[in-house]
Each structure stands twice: as C-alpha cells, then as structure tokens.
Structure 1
Amino acid sequence: MTQVYVLDISSLEVDFYKKRMPTNFLSEAKKYKDSEQFKRSFFSWYLLADILKDSGFAVENIKIEYNEYKKPRINNLFFNISHSLNVVVLVLSNEDVGVDIEYIAKKDNDKLARRILNDVELERYLKNKDYFYKIWTKKEAEIKRLGLGATIKLLKEISADADTYKIKDKEQNRYFVSISPKGSKINHLKSI
C-alpha cells in the first residue's frame, strides 16, 4: 500500500509549528542553513512526524538512519520526501518508494537536457519543452526509490519509460510530480 500526502506550505510559519516538532525530526531539518530550504525541509519532516504520530508511533523515540547515498529510512518504514518552492510531497509505503516534484519554470533547459536525456527522451523534449519536467521527475523518483545518489551519468542511464518502472506522474498547478513505487498500487492521495 502506498500513501501520498501533499502539503502547500506557502502560508505556514515555522515558528508556529517548531514547538510541536519532535527534536529528532527537527535536527534533520536543521541540516539546511538557507531559510527557504530550511522551511521546506522543516515541513517535510513535520509532515512525516505528524502522520506517524497519528498512526500511533512514538515519534520522539524514532531513530532516522541513512544509506550510503543519504536516503533516509526508519526501521521497516519506507518513505520518501520531495519539495519544490511551496509544495511538499511525502510518500509512505510498505516497499521501497521514490518521489520527485518540480515546479515547471519557464526557462531554457536545453543544456541540461542534452546531458541527462537519452536520444529518445531528447527527441521528445525538443518537440515539447515542458516534457523536460516529466522526464526529470520520473528519473529522479526512480533513482530515489533505488536509494542511489543522482549523478549525470545515472540520470542519463535511467529511462523515463513509465512501463519499465510503473511510475505514476501528474501535472497540477505548474508542478510536476512523479512517484516510483516498487510495485504497490498508489491507493491514498491526500492534500493537506
């Protein structure tokens, strides 16, 4: 079972929620020094802690660990987080999962596209420039599901073919999100 939570943080203030944040989760958010990055990270971890608490977990006792590529994990709980501008996405699953969200900015991505897209993907991109975000988020979600660090070489090698990875994607409000579950169905989507 895969559950997806989407949180708009544009009107949320960190100071209001900080006292309610478990210290072990707050320390994860504090890894970012930039105020905007900190806010996105803070609400990502806050959302995870809040959902786990509502599910009966003693969140203050949870130990957050990382694999060699810095993918976070908590015991046998599979989760992944992504954020872009004012939106946070959290995915919980009973299997490995990856998620990526990107704001669709009107900018020239040609140089990056030529570095990370294979020939078929590049051809699609050159016909429709907004397709870049669909490909990018699919590749990122799959790499995150696998727990690997994203490198230019790996991004180019991973195909954005949804049939290969069963990646679910959606565009909404100028954001593009892709979710790569290991095989489970996405059966819960909640905007908070």
Structure 2
Amino acid sequence: MEIIELYFYHLPSVDIEEVKNYFILNKVFNSNKIENFSRTKLCSLWFRYDSLSSKLSLSPKNLEFDIETSQRPTLKNANLDFNISHSGDWLVGAISSSRVGVDIEKINSNRDVKSIAKNFYSLEENSLLENDSNSYIENFYKLWTIKEASAKYFGVSILEYLSKGNQTPEKLNLLQYKFQDEYFITISTSLEKEVKLINLNKEIKLDIKRVN
C-alpha cells in the first residue's frame, strides 16, 4: 500500500531565525524577501522546500512550482503532490505520490457553528448534527475538515466546492483523525493509503487517533 507522509509543525516552537537562515543559505530567498513573512508563511515554505527537496534529492533552490487557478501550488516535473493546512498552534503538510488534500481545524466552542452549518451544510447533514446535539460542535468540525480537504484535493475554493453541493467527479478516500484532543485532521486521496506521521518538534508528543 502506498504511503502519505504527514508532517507536523508546532508553530510556537519553531526557531524562526533557523528557518530564515535555511532559506538564505540555500539561496531560495534573500533576507529582504523573507524579513516580513509571518511565522505561518515561513513554516509553510519551510515544509515545502525542505521536505520536498529531501524527497527528490534536489537542492531546494532547484525546486520548481506551478500555481493552479485556485492558488494551489504544485510541483513541476515530479511525481509528487503536496498540500498544507494550519490552525491554532499547528501546521500540517502532506506529501503523496498521487493527488492529496489535507485540512486541520481547531475545535472552537465559541464559534457560531450552527449559523455556518445552516448556510453551508445540506439538510441531511444539519439533521445529523441536530440528532446528536451533545456532539454537535465536534461533528461540525469533522464535517468541515472533510469539505476543506476535498476542496483542496480538487484545487477549488471551499465556497466553490460548497456551491456545487459537495458533488465530486470521483469518489474520495477520506482519512480522519482527532489530534491533541482539540483538533480534527482529514486527508483526502483517490486511493487507500497508509499514513506515516513525521513530528518536527520532538519535545511535543503527538496524540493522534483515527476516528473513521
């Protein structure tokens, strides 16, 4: 069975100066270019260049990317796909030999998720949520990560995906996880695959379990 590599970055623990030096030493970006990049953007680019260059045995500066109309980046001339998501304190990046989408969402009990569900979820989905009111918020986020990961798999915006009633041209394989007891992660692929977890912050233990 093929493998998806799922990388975890705990954003507050990342040494940003180390990341900046990585880009400068590898001649990917100059210091002026990256000086005002946010922590999240720097870590996202670090995942992209460091992980993919290692997988392809290339210098980071030799990686080439295309940008799809949805602003989804893809690798040029390589049989690898990748996708990135972040929420709260965590950024995750997925690498696969075939198309992949990933989404992570932190559970926010103060968010008005019922209004979002009524506007963007189907009647059937709303009914399922209402029938399990004790788990409404968790189930909302489980559904939302499925929608986001699927939209990212197809390279469309979440609004475009929702406007089509979640209809997709192919059946997707969805891998869903509860993470650190306050996040949900969904990986969307076309094939059944195993997932290899790669923790970039060894001092923080990953508490993750499959929920579907």
TM-score between both structures, scaled by the size of structure 1: 0.84
Rounded to whole Å, the distance in 2 between the matches of 1:111 and 1:62 is: 43
The letter for the 1-side match of 2:154 is L
CA displacement, residues 126-174 of structure 1 (integer Å, 9 cap, x when unaligned): 33222111000000000100111221x5225117xxxx52210111220
The count of aligned residue pairs is: 182
* Closer/same/farther in 2, CA of residues 136 and 23 from structure 1, 3 Å limit: farther
- Counterpart of 2:6? 4
- Counterpart of 1:123? 127
Match for 2:88 among 78, 85, 90? 85
Q: Which runs of 5+ in 2 are unaligned?
A: 201-212
* Closer/same/farther in 2, CA of residues 154 and 53 from structure 1, 3 Å limit: closer
- Give the conservation status (yes or no) of the 8 Å contact 1:100–1:178: yes
The letter for the 2-side match of 1:169 is Q
Rounded to whole Å, the distance in 1 between the matches of 2:109 and 2:29 is: 34
Which one has the largest radius of gyration? 2
- Give the conservation status (yes or no) of the 8 Å contact 2:53–2:63: no
- Counterpart of 1:105? 108
- Write the mapping of 1:7-156 to structure 2, written as runs, cut at 5 A: 7-21=9-23, 22=26, 24=28, 38-55=38-55, 56-75=57-76, 76=78, 77-107=80-110, 108-126=112-130, 127=133, 128-151=136-159, 154-155=161-162
The letter for the 2-side match of 1:92 is I
The letter for the 2-side match of 1:53 is S
The letter for the 1-side match of 2:49 is A
The letter for the 2-side match of 1:18 is K
CA displacement, residues 32-73 of structure 1 (integer Å, 9 cap, x when unaligned): x7x7xx211211220222222333122101122111111100
- Counterpart of 1:170? 177
Judge which range, 44-53 or 74-83, deviates more.
44-53
* Closer/same/farther in 2, CA of residues 15 and 106 from structure 1, 3 Å limit: same
* Closer/same/farther in 2, CA of residues 154 and 187 from structure 1, 3 Å limit: closer
Rounded to whole Å, the distance in 1 between the matches of 2:29 and 2:116 is: 34
In the TM superposition, residue 23 of structure 1 has moved relative to its aligned partner by 5.2
* Closer/same/farther in 2, CA of residues 72 and 166 from structure 1, 3 Å limit: same
The letter for the 1-side match of 2:144 is W
CA RMSD of aligned residues (A): 2.4
1:180 and 2:188 correspond: yes
In the TM superposition, residue 26 of structure 1 has moved relative to its aligned partner by 8.0
Instruction: Report percent identity of matched pairs.
Output: 25
- Give the conservation status (yes or no) of the 8 Å contact 1:4–1:186: no
The letter for the 1-side match of 2:108 is A
In the TM superposition, residue 24 of structure 1 has moved relative to its aligned partner by 4.2
In the TM superposition, residue 25 of structure 1 has moved relative to its aligned partner by 6.7
